[in-house]
Amino acid sequence: MSKQPKPWFRKELSEIKLVRRIGKVRDIARKMLDKSTDRHAECYRYRVTTGLLGHMSRIGIPEQEQDEQLGAFWSAVQAEIIQTYQRQPGGSAA
């Protein structure tokens, strides 16, 4: 049995963008904010990145698209972190 996804399956999966997984984005942003040091946050980011890349590789997403999706995903996480700060009392409205 082949472990490579069928071409039609790969096409459908490549249309699933990480950045659209808003629940995942919010969860990762919250966990990043909960880290007590920059080192802990960096380690967590590395673990998440490694996991996401492994998952995308297993389902057959090409490497270039993986890089694009990963960049967009972390940009969305950063935007969520900023929004979280702005929603807090005393947060900047800018």
| 70 touches 61 (CB < 8 A) | no
Count of the separate structural domains present in the chain: 1
Tell me, yes or no, whether 7 lies in a domain.
no
Tell me, yes or no, whether 2 lies in a domain.
no
Res. 12 pLDDT band, cuts 50 70 90 = low
Tell me, yes or no, whether 48 lies in a domain.
yes
Tokens of 82: 């900023």
Residue span of the structural domain in which 81 resides: 18-85
Instruction: Identify which of 29, 59, 37 has the alpha carbon closest to the alpha carbon of residue 51.
Output: 59
Tell me, yes or no, whether 22 lies in a domain.
yes
Tell me, yes or no, whether 9 lies in a domain.
no
Tell me, yes or no, whether 5 lies in a domain.
no
Per residue in 35-92, pLDDT tens? 999 999 999 999 999 999 999 999 889 999 999 999 999 999 999 999 998 887 766 5
